[in-house]
Structure 1
Amino acid sequence: MDETVLITGCSSGIGRETALSFLADGWEVYATARNPADIQTLGEKGCHISTLDVTEADDVERVIDEIIDEHGHLDCLVNNAGYAQPGPVEDVPIEQVHAQFDVNVYGPLRLARAALSHMRERGKGTIINVSSAVGRVAVPGMGIYSGSKFALEGISDSLRGEVDEYDVDVVLVEPGPVDTEFYDRASDEIEGVERSGGYDRFYEMYGDRQAVDGGMPGAVHPKEVADTILDAANVQHPDARYPVGTVAQLTDYARILPASWLDKLYGTVSELSTSDWVKKFFD
């Protein structure tokens, strides 16, 4: 029997690589994105493609129903679609807070709820939620994004215990920096933030980081994340969490440090993050 997977946010980066990894492994892949033109090439390679905006309940129900009608089952759901709005907590507009949680928290929840009735009835399934290293340890300037990922982590941990008796697995994949367009889009978003005037140091540090050539420090290729997702889907008893990359692994240890230590570390980095220092550090 062919195994089926539904993947959200396949237009680029992690989602696209995940679709290709599952396809190469012989899965029936349903690759989705808000704009079907962005995933047309995945369709040409053999994926089923469909329009899916995770913030629209009708889209969610339609795609899940389509998979069940065509294959009778859904083996794996990969909630990958994500949205980042960086900026100090005070500066991020409330409407952007709502938008970020709608994609990063309510979107995966809509899909999980739609898929779970079928998985429970079948007594088999895996839900993989793509979180982030900052879903474990929050950093200044990413509070709203971190908050959305913290929420996803908490929901996933609770859900895992609730569906264990039905042999449904719930997995969190937690990448650190990934070499994708995600951070470029996040940088564009920060330009639209109405600045209160109280956080010039943050904006200067953020600008310095963006000026560094070679992308995000410690970034991994999206295929590394995709292969981790595929491995979690293929394992009979997957781990609850899979940190991906050195930064994510270090973050996993950092969360056990006292908050006062982390605060001091952030303060030190902020003090030192002039443009020249950042460039020397990351060269």
Structure 2
Amino acid sequence: MTTVLITGASSGIGARAAARFAGRGLTVVGAARSIDAIARLDGVIPIELDLRDEASATHAVAETTRIAGPIDVLVNCAGYGEFGSVEETSLDHARQQLEVNVLGAMALVRAALPGMREAGRGRVVNVSSLAGEFAAPLGGWYHASKFALEALSDSLRGEVRQFGIDVTLVQPSYVATEWHETAMVHLERASARGPYAEMAATMRAYFASPGLARQMSTVDAVAELVVRAALTPKPKTRYRIGPGANLAVALATLLPDRAFDAMTRKQFGYA
């Protein structure tokens, strides 16, 4: 019986993926700061987790192992977007972004790896973003967290292959969740009234546009991709989803930096 520990299981992609794992008859432990919603998911065992606290991550892995046995699959799905200009975003908020999206995820990996090594098998799925491939204005700290997650995943993959453990990334573009609303709240807090206010207003309008809504992937589609990345016998290193996702990465790689900057400004409507 495969045991899955998945973070961010209280809502959005994490909740849908947890339900899908459980629907396949796997033993699923869903982790989040608030577990009330997880408790309502059929077949998912709720466990409290605060990704800003290393001891909480270590405890979550130990409790999962105690309750459900050795962890076969770790899915790092929890995360949020700290939006705002680099200049105006407080370093406290920047640290929290890195703690949740990067350091917390790696704390879980560090805690889970000994058991996976002992078993001679395992899978780590890190839910990243296209934001880990290229950066845009007003999302610097979020992009930084995803760039870091991508780099650590690549390094980790090379390190643990010898133990029968694989590491893969899921890179959604825009997804129809409340993530965007949360990101805009952070943008408002940081940059709505200062020298970047006009740029912030333009970004808010962009995320509220019907055109963007038509480009969003469904939560179910992304959740199904997470499950595939976790369970397929020979996973790809990266799974991208979203209209134009592969093209966007190709353009970021092939275009000169300033040409890509100009294209990004035009996309968001910046001057």
**Do the two structures share a fold, i.e. TM-score over 0.5?**
yes
Q: Shift of residue 53 of structure 1?
A: 1.1
Kept in 2: contact 1:75–1:119 (CA 8 A):
yes
User: Which residue of the partner structure matches residue 74 of structure 2?
Assistant: 77
Gaps of 5+ in 1: 275-283
Kept in 2: contact 1:176–1:248 (CA 8 A):
yes
TM-score by length of structure 1 reads: 0.90
Distance 1:246 1:194 in 2: 29
From 129, 133, 138, give the equivalent of 1:132: 129
Q: Shift of residue 269 of structure 1?
A: 3.7
User: Which residue of the partner structure matches residue 279 of structure 1?
Assistant: none
Gaps of 5+ in 2: none
User: Which residue of the partner structure matches residue 107 of structure 1?
Assistant: 104
User: Which residue of the partner structure matches residue 28 of structure 2?
Assistant: 29
Equivalences for 1:37-116 in 2 at 5 Å? Answer: 37-42=36-41, 45-116=42-113
Q: How many residues align?
A: 270
Q: Say if 1:259 and 1:118 are closer, same or farther in 2 by CA, change over 3 A.
A: same
1:141 paired with 2:142, answer no
Partner amino acid, structure 1, of 2:33: R
Q: Say if 1:202 and 1:170 are closer, same or farther in 2 by CA, change over 3 A.
A: same
Higher deviation after alignment, 178-187 or 53-62:
53-62
Identity of aligned residues (%): 37
Higher deviation after alignment, 221-230 or 202-211:
202-211
TM-score by length of structure 2 reads: 0.94
1:11 paired with 2:10, answer yes
Partner amino acid, structure 2, of 1:258: P
Q: Shift of residue 217 of structure 1?
A: 4.7
Distance 2:55 2:97 in 1: 19
Kept in 1: contact 2:133–2:249 (CA 8 A):
yes
Per-residue displacement from partner, 1:22-58 (whole Å, max 9, x unpaired)? 111111110111011232211xx12111111112222
1:189 paired with 2:186, answer yes
User: Which residue of the partner structure matches residue 177 of structure 2?
Assistant: 180
Distance 2:230 2:177 in 1: 23
Higher deviation after alignment, 68-77 or 175-184:
68-77
Higher deviation after alignment, 215-224 or 157-166:
215-224
Distance 1:61 1:171 in 2: 22
Distance 1:18 1:75 in 2: 16
User: Which residue of the partner structure matches residue 20 of structure 1?
Assistant: 19
Q: Say if 1:217 and 1:109 are closer, same or farther in 2 by CA, change over 3 A.
A: same
Q: Shift of residue 214 of structure 1?
A: 7.4
Distance 2:227 2:19 in 1: 10
From 150, 155, 179, give the equivalent of 2:152: 155
- Secondary structure at the aligned position of 2:124 is classed as strand
Distance 1:128 1:198 in 2: 39
Q: Shift of residue 84 of structure 1?
A: 0.8
Partner amino acid, structure 2, of 1:241: R
Q: Shift of residue 213 of structure 1?
A: 4.2
From 221, 226, 244, give the equivalent of 1:224: 221
Partner amino acid, structure 2, of 1:142: G
Partner amino acid, structure 2, of 1:260: R
Per-residue displacement from partner, 1:72-128 (whole Å, max 9, x unpaired)? 311100001102111111111111100100000101100000000110111100000
Distance 2:238 2:215 in 1: 20
Q: Say if 1:217 and 1:92 are closer, same or farther in 2 by CA, change over 3 A.
A: farther
Distance 1:273 1:263 in 2: 11
- Secondary structure at the aligned position of 2:40 is classed as helix
Q: Shift of residue 249 of structure 1?
A: 2.3
Kept in 2: contact 1:7–1:31 (CA 8 A):
yes
Structure 1 vs Structure 2 CA RMSD: 1.8
Q: Shift of residue 190 of structure 1?
A: 1.8
User: Which residue of the partner structure matches residue 261 of structure 2?
Assistant: 263
